[in-house]
């Protein structure tokens, strides 16, 4: 449930420009800590929703100048709005939450903005739904929040933005803008584009093909459902870094095609060697991902249970798991033909797996070796 | 839990060649239905494990000739072993379970085998772990089982293989070998290669990049952990179809690179149009996948709950869900920084979402709009 809020390090007033998902969520989190927050948005509707959700109140001419301005507008206008805010509040520190950082900094340099009071941010948090109505105070809890110091940012500005990130529950990560943009190109922008390109193949897939779709295709294409306008703006703003990732993937595709063509022309030795190499390099890469595909996996026991499609069966399973009195760390349900039927993997703290397995087996569940 | 087994339509003896995951699972399922099963494998160890798991008994010279032979050996030797079995048992129907079908048929034609008694199969089932020790009688329950009639298969052979698929609980799908191979190229082989190529980029990812990995990257690269030797053989055996999918992806990559280069050279109108189009085509493709990313989604209410990282919290959540007395249809837990903290989405039958949400809210959980 929810930890007791600590006293905020952030000192208001904080002014938030742009009351979409991120801006409104930051406002709600700060208000819950008692920080004074004012809001503005080009859409009166979005602003009204944010106010209704207690993200703050609309800014009025009589309000005191903000100590901190948070710019949470679409990436393509972020630089311009940050420059305006720096000029309008000459004593304020200003941050933004755009998911690209170098392009914003370039715009500020071109605008001759005061870079000492600007520190770029990228909170690595979001939801499938956007807009103020989807806002939540806990959106940033446990998530990385990148602080991208341009090198010219003042210590006051950096400390002010770090305090904001900590107050909303995020985990601080420091990266300069270029390294940040290279990092998100590979961990975020590349996967998005590849998921979209693979999903696009399904539009003209042969009849009956999608009925054979398994969990692998579902996982690879899940994020292909993303918002097109937002992603077009993000990708365009990080174009050089994303292009260099795509070129590397294209080189890998060409190597793979070489191996496949060798197979087609009967040279199976060359084909198998090349294809094996592609999969092995992928094995090595996926092991670098922190968490359950990397380190954490070794800290957990995984108990795999067969769940058939009878009504209420998942509920009964979790009731039994509760009775077993073990600490549930994770649950993964495999989907066959789009139904949650098949293998359900329950991760528990290392050592309590056998106890859970025997408890479930006694309760009549099929436990898999 | 487990439905009462129906009487088997399959008449033994059934001979299974290759006691890996699939062969052993078929044997265990048939034995549970009382069907006589004999086994052989080039590895005495694998054979001993299969016998220990009650998949059948080793075949002896005195055994009656089988009515059905199931060949469950690696794809690169499947054609040759099927041809041997057709010759050795002139009255038996023979099937295989290789994940490619046209290449097997070509090998049989070259070998001058009796194609009237052969019907190719592809059960769309598997586990991350392979080998006989991972076998389970329920591996095929609710999974598609492709029956690939060459056009020359006798009605007896087709009916015999259909009976096998139904007896082990699978759902029948009929496709000719070429259509099957084109279908798995797009829904299975392409996602595997793309996941591996994206994961491979992480090997040389900039310092700190993987620490920013979110659920999107985890989903896209999950299957990159697959077995390299098995996949090299599968991909080589379906080389022409996989190559044509990869060439389509490369065309899509080139279009995307064109849009990104337009952005880099300041032509944002062209860039945004092109990138928007890539994401929109992906949106359309992902909607074609049956199940929770397609149709079924509309039959469910989804209640999203914030789960923090305190011990036992998931267990408490599922206990409350059980108390609420609603039918759990699916659970998805979003992972932040590799920990199952953040948003847990619980799918229930349409209509019971509000009841679950208010029950959980009363119990102190944070429910997200």
DSSP label at residue B41: -
Among residues B149, B176, B203, the one where a domain terminates is: B176
Which pLDDT value is given to residue B297? Answer: 46
- Is the same domain home to B101 and B154? yes
With contact defined as beta carbons under 8 Å apart, do B50 and B136 qualify?
no
Q: What residue in B sits closest to A321 (Cα-Cα)?
A: B315
- Residue B226 domain-assigned? no
Asked if B172 and B30 sit in the same domain, the reply is yes
Predicted confidence (pLDDT) per residue in A299-338, tens digit: 678 888 877 766 677 777 877 887 787 777 778 776 654 4
**Is the Cβ pair A245, B326 closer than 8 Å?**
no
SS (H, E, C) A246-266: HHHHHHHHHHHHHHHHHHHCC
Q: Where is average pLDDT lowest: A2-11, B95-104, B243-252? A: A2-11
* Interface contact A212-B291, CB threshold 8 A: no
Using the beta-carbon criterion (under 8 Å), do A283 and B239 form an inter-chain contact? no
Q: Is residue B118 part of a domain?
A: yes
Give me the percent of chain B exceeding a pLDDT of 70.
92
Is beta strand B144-148 parallel, antiparallel or unpaired with respect to B120-123? Answer: antiparallel
A127 contacts in chain B (CB < 8 Å): 343, 368
What confidence tens digit (pLDDT) does each residue in B305-358 have?
Answer: 877 766 677 777 877 887 787 777 778 776 654 444 567 888 887 788 888 888
| CB contact (8 A) between residue B337 and residue A187 | no
Which of B263, B327, B368 is opposite residue A311, by nearest beta carbon?
B327
DSSP state of B116: G
Mean predicted confidence (pLDDT) in B133-146: 90
A6 inside domain: no
- The pLDDT tens digits of the residues spanning B21-78 come to 999 999 999 999 999 999 999 999 999 999 999 999 999 999 999 999 999 999 889 9
Could you tell me if B36 and B133 lie in one domain?
yes
Lowest mean pLDDT among A279-283, A345-349, B234-238: A345-349
Q: What value does the mean pLDDT take over residues A13-36? A: 96
Q: Could you report the per-residue pLDDT of B179-189, keeping only the tens digit for each?
A: 999 999 999 99
Q: What is the pLDDT of residue A293?
A: 36
The answer on B343 and B326 residing in a single domain is yes
In a domain, A169, yes or no: yes
> Using a CB-CB distance cutoff of 8 angstroms, which residues of chain B are in contact with residue A320?
none
Reply yes or no on whether the pLDDT at B281 is more than 60: yes
Interchain contact, B318 vs A318, CB within 8 Å: yes
The pLDDT tens digits for B143-152 are 899 999 999 9
Q: What pLDDT does A326 receive? A: 78
Strands B300-307 and B342-349: antiparallel
The number of C-beta contacts closer than 8 angstroms across A and B is 527
| Same-domain pairing of B140 and B263 | no
**Residue that is last in its domain, among B235, B269, B289:** B289
What residues of chain B, 253 to 272, have a C-beta less than 8 Å from chain A? Answer: 253-254, 256-257, 259-261, 263-264, 268, 271-272
Looking at B113, B142, B176, the residue that finishes a domain is B176
Q: Is A122 buried (19+), middle (13-18) or exposed (0-12) by CB count in 10 A?
A: buried
A184 touches chain B (CB under 8 A): yes
Domain match, B171 and B268 both:
no
Q: Which residue did the predictor score with more confidence, A1 or B263?
A: B263
DSSP-derived 3-state class of residue B122: strand
CATH number at residue A339: 3.30.70.260
**Residue A73 belongs to some domain of the structure:** yes
Q: A127-154: per-residue pLDDT in tens? A: 767 788 889 888 998 889 999 999 999 9
Query: Quick check: A212 contacting B, CB < 8 Å?
Result: yes
Whether residues B161 and B264 share a domain: the answer is: no
pLDDT at A361 over 90: no
Chain A nearest C-alpha distance from B95 (Å): 20
Regarding whether B264 and B329 lie in a shared domain, the answer is no
With beta carbons under 8 A apart, name residues in chain B contacting A351: none
Q: Is residue A224 assigned to a domain?
A: no
Q: Is residue A47 part of a domain?
A: yes
Over the Cα atoms of chain B, what is R_g? 25
Give the domain CATH number at A151. Answer: 3.40.50.720
Together in a domain, A94 and A65: yes
Cross-strand pairs, A93: A68
Looking at the structure of chain A, the number of domains it has is: 3
The average pLDDT across A83-97 equals: 98
* Chain A, window 283-322: residues with a beta carbon less than 8 angstroms from a chain B beta carbon: 283-296, 306, 308-316, 318-319, 321-322
Task: Report which of A231, A130, A110, A113 is spatially closest to residue A96, judged by C-alpha positions.
Answer: A113
For residues A19 and A157, membership in a common domain is answered with yes
Is residue A76 in some structural domain?
Answer: yes
**Domain carrying residue B333:** 294-368
What is the spatial distance between Cα A300 and Cα A302, in angstroms, rounded to a whole number?
6
Mean per-residue pLDDT over chain B, rounded: 89
Mean pLDDT of the region A339-346? 67
B22 and B167 together in one domain: yes
Report the pLDDT averaged over residues B75-82.
Answer: 94
Give how far B295 is from chain A: nearest CA, Å.
9
- For chain A, the farthest-separated pair of C-alpha atoms sits apart, in whole angstroms, at 79
Mean pLDDT of chain A: 89
Query: Which residues in chain B are contacts of A342 at CB distance < 8 A?
Result: 141-143
Same domain, A171 and A111: yes
């Amino acid at each position: 449930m929810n930890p007791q809020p600590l006293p905020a390090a952030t000192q208001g007033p904080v002014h938030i420009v742009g009351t979409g998902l991120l801006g409104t969520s930051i406002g709600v989190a700060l208000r819950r800590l008692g920080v004074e927050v004012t809001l503005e948005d080009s859409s009166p509707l979005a602003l009204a929703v944010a106010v209704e959700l207690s993200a703050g109140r609309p800014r009025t001419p009589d309000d005191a100048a903000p100590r901190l301005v948070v710019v949470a507008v679409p990436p393509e206008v972020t630089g311009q709005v940050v420059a305006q805010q720096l000029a309008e509040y000459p004593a304020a520190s200003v941050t933004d939450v755009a998911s690209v950082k170098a392009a914003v900094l370039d715009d500020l340099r071109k605008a001759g903005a005061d870079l000492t009071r600007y520190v770029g941010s990228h909170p690595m948090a979001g939801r499938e739904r956007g807009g103020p109505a989807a806002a939540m105070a806990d959106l940033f809890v446990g998530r990385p929040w990148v602080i991208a110091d341009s090198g010219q940012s003042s210590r006051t500005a950096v400390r002010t933005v770090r305090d904001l990130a900590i107050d909303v529950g995020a985990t601080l990560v420091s990266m300069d803008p270029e390294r940040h943009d290279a990092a998100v190109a590979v961990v975020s922008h590349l996967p998005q584009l590849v998921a979209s390109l693979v999903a696009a193949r399904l539009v003209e897939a042969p009849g009956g093909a999608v009925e054979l779709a398994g969990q692998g295709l579902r996982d690879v294409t899940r994020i292909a459902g993303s918002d097109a306008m937002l992603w077009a703006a993000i990708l365009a703003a990080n174009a050089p870094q994303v292009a260099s990732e795509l070129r590397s993937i294209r080189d890998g595709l060409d190597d793979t095609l070489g191996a496949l063509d060798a197979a087609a022309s009967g040279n199976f030795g060359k084909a198998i060697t090349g294809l094996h190499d592609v999969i092995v390099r992928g094995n090595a890469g996926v092991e670098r991902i922190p968490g359950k595909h990397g380190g954490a996996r070794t800290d957990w026991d995984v108990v795999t249970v067969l769940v058939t499609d009878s009504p209420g069966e998942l509920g009964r399973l979790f009731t039994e798991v509760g009775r077993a009195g073990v600490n549930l760390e994770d649950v993964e349900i495999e989907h066959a033909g789009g139904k949650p039927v098949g293998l359900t993997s329950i991760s528990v703290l290392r050592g309590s797996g056998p106890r859970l397995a025997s408890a479930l087996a006694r309760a009549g569940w099929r436990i898999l070796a």
